[in-house]
């Protein structure tokens, strides 16, 4: 059976890589299940429908929800996708199996440490907590093992990237004049962006947050850690999105029955994301004092440039899907939509995710505008936005893509396409309810990041409908989303436990309509794009960071960067000298 299958199945061609991918997917899906459960508890608690936890524990749940879904689920899954895409497109296994498992192990260890620190918040007797939310900057402080776990996780992703670059280097030796295969190009440009952007959070965690949480330094400069966080905190959005884009560009057209419209356009889009996604993080800090308005304005204009690659993507992917529909007999201006393979949960899920991403893009433009941002900044609008982007465009694409990818790495057929279809539809409907209500609640001024959104002697007003309706929508949406995750995990579990199949899935990806030969070779010059991306970061961040350090009390906030232990010693010496001096004065007098 395996011999008959080996022409088609990834698992037979690259068994070691399939093992690594299965492990990353397993961790991702466990994190998805736990994170979704925390999300359900929060949705019911905040809307006052069912309260099973103390409000103080809400923040533990919120941190767990954010970290497990936005960091662990997404990044473990994307590591699996990138490992698959690199081996598949370069048509070669990783250079070292041991090295691949090393980064999986490091990321997993980091995840366990961070999760233990977060869950420790539910057991007060442990004296350990990390209720710092997904945005883990000062002044909120977590237990040191939370930061140490995150640092290990980030280093693990760096090693994963190194794994794929080593594969590329080996491929390049054998294919000196070839264009980089499209999927490998997407992986490499995304990882360059990740290396550049994670430098900020690495500096923040290693030099400030870990020493601060260990008590080695007394204080940190909160604005500096916030800025370093957002230096990474916006590009991570594109780190989530790029694997979704990879699947929209290279898998979705095939599922639609066609071919990618333009390979060169896809390369341009990924290069643009590499260049533009990092120098924009200050747009998360429009309301932060201590950063000059001019720098915020520059961040805003840079952010607006990011619309270009997203709009190019919308055009290319829709054109590719339309081409697929017409290959299947679709006709007319819009009737071709009916010819698409809506029975296939992988296609339907990705298509619905793309449709919702358009809505998320529009609310993102609102967030990016300095003046409008002031209205919605600390309201429920913002979670509404990122539940459309990372919560749907990314998460739904990953779940839908799993229906096509998991059979390739397990060698088994998808357990149930109807359950898969119901699951992706349920996610779409649940997210419509939840994100719509969150956006509306944000416009009414309801705050985010709080277990108790109500104020005494104050009533939130909506222009249409009531606050009660919005609460019901959020609770209903959250419940549907959780049930959708349960269906997904059930389907994937039974898929992986199923019997091996001769042809688990049609894994062939057709060539694009317009191939790489139509794009300028300079697009493949990764060193040059890295240099330009780094230069843009230097231009965007040097002056703001200098200002923050100069005006915010130095690197460590409280003045001179003196470690706490040294400071205590100095205090002792000073007190002793003062005391001796006073005694001497007394004797003299």
Partner 1 sequence: MKLTKARALVLIAFSVPIAIELRTVAGFFNVELPLIAVAVIEFLFLALLFVLYGLYGEGSNAAA
Instruction: Catalogue the active-site residues.
Output: 234, 238, 385-387, 448-449
The verdict on 334 binding partner 1 (CB under 8 A) reads no
Contact yes or no for 101/20 (Cβ under 8 A):
yes
Quote the least distance from Cβ 248 to partner 1, whole Å: 18
Give the shortest CB-481-to-partner 1 separation in angstroms: 14
Using CB under 8 A, which of 429, 494, 509, 532 touches partner 1? 429
Q: Which residue do the tokens 């959250």 mark?
A: 478
* Both structure tokens of 196: 């550049």
DSSP state of 134: S
Q: Please select the residue that binds partner 1; options are 137, 168, 357, 433, rule is CB under 8 A.
A: 433
Instruction: Rank residues 51 and 328 by Cβ distance to partner 1 and give the closer one.
Output: 328
Q: Min. distance of Cβ 242 from partner 1 in angstroms?
A: 26
Candidates 2-10, 126-134, 282-290, 463-471; binding stretch for partner 1 (CB under 8 A): 463-471
Give me the long-range contacts of 344-347 (CB less than 8 A, separation at least 24).
344/255, 344/403, 344/417, 344/421, 345/400, 345/403, 345/414, 345/417, 345/420, 345/421, 345/423, 345/424, 346/251, 346/255, 346/400, 346/401, 346/403, 346/404, 346/420, 347/252, 347/255, 347/256, 347/400
Question: In this structure, are residues 276 and 306 in contact, taking their beta carbons and an 8 Å threshold?
Answer: yes
Using CB under 8 A as the binding rule, whether residue 521 contacts partner 1 is answered as no
Nearer to partner 1, 277 or 473 (CB): 473
Residue 108 or 432: the one with the smaller Cβ distance to partner 1 is 432
Q: What DSSP letter does each residue of 255-305 carry, written as one string? A: HHTS--SBHHHHHHHHHHHHHHSSTTGGGG-TT-TTS-HHHHHHHHHHHHH
What's the min distance (Å) between Cβ of 421 and partner 1? 6
Site for partner 1 in 470-499 (CB under 8 A): 473
The residue to which tokens 């260890």 are assigned: 109
CB of 323 or CB of 439, closer to partner 1: 439
Cβ atoms of 415 and 478 closer than 8 Å: no
Does residue number 465 form part of the binding site for partner 1 (CB under 8 A)?
yes
User: For tokens 């041991």, what's the residue?
Assistant: 98
Task: Annotate each residue in 409-428 with x if it binds partner 1 (CB under 8 A) or - if it does not, as one string.
Answer: ---------x--xx--x--x
Residue from 169, 172, 343, 521 touching partner 1 (CB under 8 A): that is 343
**In 3D, which of 499, 436, 505 has the Cα closest to residue 472?**
436
One of 125, 176, 371, 463 touching partner 1 (CB under 8 A): 463
The answer to whether residue 352 forms part of the interface with partner 1 (CB under 8 A) is yes
Closest CA to 78 of 209, 242, 276: 242
Residues β-bridged to residue 500: 412
Among residues 436, 450, 501, 551, the one that binds partner 1 under rule CB under 8 A: 436
Is 502 near partner 1 (CB under 8 A)? no
According to CB under 8 A, which one of 18, 154, 390, 432 is a site residue for partner 1? 432
133 or 419: CB nearest partner 1: 419
Q: Which of 124, 139, 294, 338 binds partner 1 (CB under 8 A)?
A: 338
Q: Does residue 469 bind partner 1 (CB under 8 A)?
A: yes
User: Closer CB to partner 1, residue 284 or residue 471?
Assistant: 471
CB of 314 to partner 1, least distance (A): 18
DSSP state letter for 514:
B
Are 181 and 89 in contact by the 8 Å Cβ rule? The answer is yes
Q: Is 379 helix (H, G, I), strand (E, B) or coil?
A: strand
Instruction: Point out which span in 69-77, 150-158, 264-272, 332-340 binds partner 1 (CB under 8 A).
Output: 332-340
139 upstream amide cis, omega within 30 of 0: yes
Nearer to partner 1, 343 or 521 (CB): 343
Residue range at the interface with partner 1 (CB under 8 A); choices 87-95, 166-174, 275-283, 431-439: 431-439
Our finding on whether 527 is near partner 1 (CB under 8 A) is no
Instruction: Check if the beta carbon of residue 421 is closer than 8 Å to that of residue 351.
Output: no
Nearer to partner 1, 104 or 388 (CB): 388
The helix/strand count (H/E) of the chain reads as: 23, 0
CA 59 to chain centre: 20
Q: Is 443 in the site for partner 1 (CB under 8 A)?
A: no
Binding residues vs partner 1 (CB under 8 A): 335, 338-339, 342-343, 348, 352, 418, 421-422, 425, 428-429, 432-433, 436, 463-465, 469, 473
């Amino acid at each position: 059976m395996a011999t008959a299958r080996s022409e088609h199945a990834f698992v037979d061609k690259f068994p070691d890589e399939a093992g690594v991918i299965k492990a990353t997917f397993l961790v991702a899906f466990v994190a998805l299940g736990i994170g979704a459960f925390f999300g359900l508890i929060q949705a019911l608690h905040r809307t006052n429908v069912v309260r099973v936890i103390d409000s103080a524990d809400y923040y533990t749940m919120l941190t767990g929800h954010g970290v497990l879904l936005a960091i662990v689920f997404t990044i473990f899954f994307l590591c699996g996708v990138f490992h698959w895409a690199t081996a598949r497109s370069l048509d070669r296994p990783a250079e070292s199996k041991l090295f691949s498992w090393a980064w999986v192990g490091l990321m997993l260890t980091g995840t366990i440490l961070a999760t233990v620190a977060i869950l420790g918040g539910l057991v007060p007797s442990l004296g350990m907590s990390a209720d710092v939310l997904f945005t883990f900057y000062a002044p909120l402080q977590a237990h040191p093992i939370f930061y140490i776990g995150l640092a290990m996780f980030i280093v693990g992703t760096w090693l994963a990237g190194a794994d794929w670059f080593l594969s590329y280097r080996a491929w390049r030796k054998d294919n000196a004049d070839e264009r980089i295969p499209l999927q490998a190009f997407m992986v490499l440009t995304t990882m360059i962006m990740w290396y550049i952007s994670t430098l900020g959070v690495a500096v923040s965690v290693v030099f400030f947050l870990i020493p601060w949480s260990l008590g080695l330094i007394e204080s940190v400069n909160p604005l500096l850690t916030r800025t370093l966080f957002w230096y990474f905190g916006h590009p991570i959005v594109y780190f989530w999105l790029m694997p979704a884009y990879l699947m929209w560009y290279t898998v979705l057209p095939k599922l639609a029955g066609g071919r990618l419209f333009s390979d060169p356009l896809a390369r341009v889009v990924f290069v643009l994301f590499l260049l533009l996604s990092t120098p924009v993080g200050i747009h998360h800090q429009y309301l932060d004092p201590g950063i000059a308005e001019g720098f915020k304005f520059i961040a805003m204009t840079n952010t607006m440039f990011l619309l270009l690659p997203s709009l190019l993507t919308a055009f290319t992917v829709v054109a590719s899907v339309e081409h697929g529909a017409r290959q299947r007999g679709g006709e007319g201006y819009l009737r071709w939509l009916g010819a698409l393979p809506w029975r296939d949960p992988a296609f339907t899920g990705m298509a619905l995710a793309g449709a919702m991403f358009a809505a998320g893009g529009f609310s993102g433009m609102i967030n990016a505008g300095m003046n409008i941002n002031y209205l919605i900044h600390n309201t429920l609008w913002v979670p509404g936005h990122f539940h459309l982007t990372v919560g749907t465009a990314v998460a739904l694409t990953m779940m839908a893509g799993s229906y096509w990818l998991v059979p390739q790495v397990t060698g088994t057929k998808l357990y149930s396409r109807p359950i898969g279809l119901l699951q992706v539809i349920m996610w779409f409907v649940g997210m419509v309810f939840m994100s719509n209500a969150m956006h509306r609640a944000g416009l009414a001024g309801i705050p985010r990041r709080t277990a108790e959104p109500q104020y005494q002697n104050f009533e939130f007003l909506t222009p249409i409908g009531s606050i009660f309706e919005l609460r019901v929508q959020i609770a209903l949406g959250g419940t549907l989303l959780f049930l959708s995750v349960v269906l997904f995990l059930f389907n994937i579990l039974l898929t992986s436990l199923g019997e091996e199949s001769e042809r688990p899935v049609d894994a062939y990806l057709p060539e694009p309509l317009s191939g790489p030969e139509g794009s300028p070779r300079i697009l493949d010059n990764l060193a040059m794009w890295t240099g330009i991306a780094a230069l843009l970061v230097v231009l965007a961040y040097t002056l703001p960071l200098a200002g923050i350090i100069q005006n915010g009390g130095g690197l460590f906030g409280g003045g001179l960067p003196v470690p706490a232990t040294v400071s205590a010693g100095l205090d002792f010496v000073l007190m002793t000298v003062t005391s001796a001096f006073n005694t001497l004065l007394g004797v003299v007098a």
